[in-house]
Chain A
Amino acid sequence: IHNLKYFKRTCGEIFELKAELNSDKKEKKKEAVKKVIASMTVGKDVSALFPDVVNCMQTDNLELKKLVYLYLMNYAKSQPDMAIMAVNTFVKDCEDPNPLIRALAVRTMGCIRVDKITEYLCEPLRKCLKDEDPYVRKTAAVCVAKLHDINAQLVEDQGFLDTLKDLISDSNPMVVANAVAALSEIAESHPNSNLLDLNPQSINKLLTALNECTEWGQIFILDCLANYTPRDDRESQSICERVTPRLSHANSAVVLSAVKVLMKFMEMLPKDLDYYGTLLKKLAPPLVTLLSAEPELQYVALRNINLIVQKRPEILKHEMKVFFVKYNDPIYVKLEKLDIMIRLASQANIAQVLAELKEYATEVDVDFVRKAVRAIGRCAIKVEQSAERCVSTLLDLIQTKVNYVVQEAIVVIKDIFRKYPNKYESVIATLCENLDSLDEPEARAAMIWIVGEYAERIDNADELLESFLEGFHDESTQVQLQLLTAIVKLFLKKPTETQELVQQVLSLATQDSDNPDLRDRGYIYWRLLSTDPVAAKEVVLAEKPLISEETDLIEPTLLEELICHIGTLASVYHKPPSAFVEGSRGVQHKRLPARAGSGESAESPDTVSTGGVSEAPPAVIPSQGDLLGDLLNLDLTPPTTTGPPPPTSSMQMGAMDLLGGGLDSLVGVLSNTMGASFGAPPAVMPGSFNAPVSGGLSDLFDLGGGVGMPMGAYVPPKTVWLPAMKAKGLEISGTFARRSGVVQMEMTLTNKAMSVMGDFAIQFNRNSFGLAPAGPLQVLTPFTPNQSIEVTLPLNTVGPVMKMEPLNNLQVFYFRY
């Protein structure tokens, strides 16, 4: 059959189709429905044909029936009243002698999200859940999840959850698997319901079904097992023993889910146990095998291996070679392999790794080459014995004069200086030769830092820095800040010749600049220098803490959470689900069980929140009458220091870790607007608030641009600030962003109420950033029900600043360099 013709139709044929649908001839009817589906696929609106298509539903031709059902699923929502016409046929089909038709009916009915239809679904569903045929039962099991998604209360009231639980003991493995999948999904939206009620008996049933069901079913069961916390190490071991055979499955997802269960349960095993060592050995080969899968799966596997290597480096420490990049690997595989190579680099294999990295640095893809160069720098920092070879490799690369290679090399050499001060200064001359070719802010800033730091050894340091000063206002903030600091350092080291220079830069920074960060830093230096030059010297030229290779590691609590999400999107993004999943689903945090005997009992459910950082819903809301007034308490004060210290930053996460609450997202954005990111070690986090001023400061100087800083302005995804329930139907989600130099608040307003809204206005409470709207809030009115609008509000930082103790964690950011 040539179906191509179905697609070649123009608009205005609805009428013709209508006639064909009402034809007496079966064949013609079927052809007409096919045409309708084809139009639907390409996005044409064929909802006008609804009654005519539904009329074709009563047929004994299964193919035609399936097509009509497909149409129904798409359009029933827009034609709820007419969809009722279909109910009778559904109910009748649920009684059909053919199990395939019974299942088809119950499957389709669950997909039609119309309340009135849902009511009629209950009785047929109840029967189908107890159907004699396993095919119908497995379909009905999934249908419960569908119904729960439409009307959770109904599912509970009708007792479907209990029936679903019973299906876990079903004789058919596929029914068990689907029931597990459905229950797991439902349980996610009821974090505390204990719905899955996993106990040794039910676990045993699941493990038995695991051996018998389809590959997909095995994944559902393994993912569910991963949520269980064994009572002791013996139970943990026995589950591990029954899960390990899955590591030989051909389906990579089964393997990864098994790895997840093992990684989690291993936590509970005592390390001196023989079995523990055996298990570690068993994990390596399947992980390596994943790398021979298709590239997309390799990518997923590599992202997960990246986590596993951080959690348990011993598993893959001998497998460095399999991560060598192949010429034909897609770029996303190459970049990930490179990341893992650096993590596995050690004294034993560093020679091989360096030879590879040097090879990569001559490739074509710019991002890859840059990362390879950066990797060489990271090797130097990680493996001290190799530092010298790394530096000479980098110098070789600088000689190639390939612009982006040179710039990248300079950025990493700066980090090497931070790690090994006063060791490789001989290369500075070579670096200075390339001064003119640097056009990227990061490289310029790095170079300026080097010149400032070693000003006393560079004869013409003042000339070099002065040359940058000419175009001061055209430089990016990062470079401006660095230049300011470098010149102050130069002045403190060679006060006699550079007085003019320092005055010039201070006036540029304080008087001619619009940038508050730059201004503030300028004033701080100015005051320091004018009041107490000796103190200034102590502060600015203080000895800097060494950087270590740990800077790019994922923060431990997050890592633990991600290990619990192996195989899932969270492990691919390296972000907790709450960062990219909307609504209640992603909110619960998973964590690894405690090792046996460590005091923390295994009873604690795996839903304990590890975030801890102020989770109070922040809100920036326009006032609409008195109703919203209370909601507008936009509280932008910093979190109290009682919580656990916020996570340290990491390369993967950038500012993400700090997005626990809305306030933190604001912090994240602002830090980006300052042109740098969180490179600070934990020392600057709230833990050290009370440290003496100068000590705190000295820690902070020169920390910008540690290893692997994320580039570019990061915009956190929108989060719901104001749920509709709390504001009579107005839902607001939003984020802060900096676009073309202006801080903006971006919001999505959704009218979920029944009536039209209007008269929007916005007011900011006094906050520590001095944020205030730069213009009125413009919302297109009338704002009709079910409409949603994107609103962007430009902000400035000239509003009243909330006064605070002189040095808290937020203001600390102003002093960073």
Chain B
Amino acid sequence: MIGGLFIYNHKGEVLISRVYRDDIGLKLDIQIGGVQSKAPGLRNAVDAFRVNVIHARQQVRSPVTNIARTSFFHVKRSNIWLAAVTKQNVNAAMVFEFLYKMCDVMTAYFGKISEENIKNNFVLIYELLDEILDFGYPQNSETGALKTFITQQGIKGQTKEEQSQITSQVTGQIGWRREGIKYRRNELFLDVLESVNLLMSPQGQVLSAHVSGRVVMKSYLSGMPECKFGMNDKIVIDKQGKGGASDDAGKSGKQSIAIDDCTFHQCVRLSKFDSERSISFIPPDGEYELMRYRTTKDIILPFRVIPLVREVGRTKLEVKVVIKSNFKPSLLAQKIEVRIPTPLNTSGVQVICMKGKAKYKASENAIVWKIKRMAGMKESQISAEIELLPTNDKKKWARPPISMNFEVPFAPSGLKVRYLKVFESKLNYSDHDVIKWVRYIGRSGIYETRC
């Protein structure tokens, strides 16, 4: 299991160090300036990571590093390094999941993970690390539960009932929700957030395309409500269609989508999904991610990019890019940005675009073309002349792909929420009393066209 956890700043100085197991002391030939520490082994482990990873000259080649039979796992958030250290054959996936979770928990407590925030909250971080990792084994790390008893305010005032409520929540079956939540207005918000990914060849052939979507829910519901979520999942719709009930006939005509795979928040009863494909759960309070899914079939690609690059002699390039929007004319796409890479030896660029603004950004080696809004079934074009400095460099320009960013008010996968039912038998509100909001946002993920 995890032997220790360290947090470093970008210089490699240790901000947090928590050791869970003695075995991680290293015997290395690393000299640490004259100071003899009481725990030389540990300091060596700390330094080994700094020397071999943070200060390493080249780019990081692997998120797992083995130095003198000690394994270091690291993730980086802005310029902060989080490193987990172990000497055993640990579950590597778990260690990374834990490090991400650790970041989530810290963000939930004090916002952005930065050197200043970590230094300001080091006592809290140690307290959290003591709670969520015991002898290197991850324990309950749901922020909702943690916030009930790790507060930095002391827990003197608690009654016995409160204490046992905390412990039963931390260890219980429903570790993500506490009892006795009350709202005057029961309300929930469902966001279907999709990121559509595309890799297209210069000739317009789709090399790969997929949508990775998330259903994010904000729930403000009283008590311990039982929820059931339904969407136009092909398997479910087909099953109902087979039932042959007369009023289902209309429904089965509705479009359904084939979901390649989905994963759920731990509140969802997975065995029930496996057997009946129904999504039922008791939701956490506040915002959380209910599910993630992936589709690859019948994706609506909101934009098509048609590039044309022509090399005119050795010192000039002509680039023409057409973008076409491919959705209902009544809908508007926003925040459209097309990024056209330019060679490193570019000396000057002239651009003309029909719509929006385009600029050559020398520092990013790209022409950035921005359009605020664009309706469906429209087309726009940019053309640019790129002057190049003559070079002796034999190496060819790699021609990175043209990438695009945008936001559209529909789900490119075609996913539709059919219902979200809420049942709370103990309290006097019914499904009809809950105010529900649904919103669809499709964003570009990695949306690239090779040129």
> Which residues from chain A sit less than 8 Å from chain B, CB to CB?
1-4, 6-7, 34, 37-38, 41-43, 45, 47, 60-63, 66-67, 69-70, 73-75, 78, 97-100, 103, 107, 110-111, 113, 133-136, 138-139, 142-143, 145-146, 149, 172-175, 178, 181, 185, 211-216, 219-220, 223, 242, 244-246, 248-253, 255-257, 285-286, 288-289, 292, 294-297, 299-301, 321-322, 324, 326-328, 330-332, 352, 355-356, 359, 362-364, 400-402, 565, 567-573, 577, 580-582, 585-586, 717-718, 748, 788, 790
B242 interface residue per 8 A CB criterion: no
Task: Say whether B92 contacts A300, CB under 8 Å.
Answer: yes
Task: Say whether A332 contacts B61, CB under 8 Å.
Answer: yes
B394 interface residue per 8 A CB criterion: yes
Task: Say whether B289 contacts A250, CB under 8 Å.
Answer: yes
Closest A residue to B121 using CB positions:
A3
Alpha-carbon separation in the docked complex, A364 to B120 (Å): 41
Which residues of B from 115 to 161 have beta carbons under 8 Å from A? 116, 119-123, 126-127, 130, 134-135, 137-142, 149, 152, 154-156, 158, 160
| A219 touching B166 in the complex, CB below 8 Å, given contacts A43-B46, A78-B38, A285-B260 | no
Task: Say whether B62 contacts A100, CB under 8 Å.
Answer: no
A–B complex contacts, Cβ < 8 Å, 20 sampled: A41-B17, A43-B37, A43-B46, A61-B156, A134-B168, A145-B135, A172-B172, A242-B271, A246-B270, A248-B263, A250-B291, A252-B93, A257-B94, A294-B75, A296-B75, A326-B199, A327-B448, A331-B59, A400-B396, A586-B88
Contact residue among A4, A41, A178, A326 (Cβ-Cβ distance under 8 Å from B120): A4
Which A residues lie within 8 Å of B91 (CB)?
A: 219, 223, 253, 256-257, 567-568
Task: Say whether B61 contacts A331, CB under 8 Å.
Answer: yes
Q: How far is the CB of B57 from chain A (nearest CB, A)?
A: 14
Which residues of B from 362 to 417 have beta carbons under 8 Å from A? 394-396, 398-401, 403
Task: Say whether B264 contacts A249, CB under 8 Å.
Answer: yes
Contact residue among B43, B137, B154, B156 (Cβ-Cβ distance under 8 Å from A142): B137
| A214 touching B37 in the complex, CB below 8 Å, given contacts A3-B123, A359-B450, A567-B91 | no
Contact residue among A103, A146, A215, A299 (Cβ-Cβ distance under 8 Å from B135): A146
Which A residues lie within 8 Å of B199 (CB)?
A: 324, 326
Q: How far is the CB of B45 from chain A (nearest CB, A)?
A: 12
Task: Say whether B156 contacts A138, CB under 8 Å.
Answer: no
Task: Say whether B43 contacts A289, CB under 8 Å.
Answer: no
Q: How far is the CB of B199 from chain A (nearest CB, A)?
A: 7
Which A residues lie within 8 Å of B97 (CB)?
A: 215, 251-253, 297
Task: Say whether A289 contacts B92, CB under 8 Å.
Answer: no
Which A residues lie within 8 Å of B291 (CB)?
A: 250
Task: Say whether B207 contacts A248, CB under 8 Å.
Answer: no
Alpha-carbon separation in the docked complex, A74 to B141 (Å): 24
Alpha-carbon separation in the docked complex, A63 to B124 (Å): 9
Alpha-carbon separation in the docked complex, A103 to B140 (Å): 14
Closest B residue to A219 using CB positions:
B94
Task: Say whether B92 contacts A571, CB under 8 Å.
Answer: yes
Task: Say whether A572 contacts B92, CB under 8 Å.
Answer: yes
Contact residue among A70, A138, A246, A748 (Cβ-Cβ distance under 8 Å from B171): A138
Task: Say whether A97 contacts B395, CB under 8 Å.
Answer: no
Task: Say whether A74 contacts B19, CB under 8 Å.
Answer: yes
Contact residue among B64, B87, B116, B164 (Cβ-Cβ distance under 8 Å from A582): B87
Alpha-carbon separation in the docked complex, A321 to B61 (Å): 24
Task: Say whether B398 contacts A100, CB under 8 Å.
Answer: no
B221 interface residue per 8 A CB criterion: no
Task: Say whether B93 contacts A249, CB under 8 Å.
Answer: no
Q: How far is the CB of A439 from chain B (nearest CB, A)?
A: 15
Task: Say whether A45 contacts B208, CB under 8 Å.
Answer: no
Q: How far is the CB of B118 from chain A (nearest CB, A)?
A: 10
Task: Say whether A565 contacts B171, CB under 8 Å.
Answer: no
Q: How far is the CB of B426 from chain A (nearest CB, A)?
A: 21
Q: How far is the CB of B65 from chain A (nearest CB, A)?
A: 11
Task: Say whether B38 contacts A133, CB under 8 Å.
Answer: no
| A301 touching B93 in the complex, CB below 8 Å, given contacts A78-B38, A292-B294 | yes
Closest A residue to B130 using CB positions:
A66
Which B residues lie within 8 Å of A7 (CB)?
A: 119
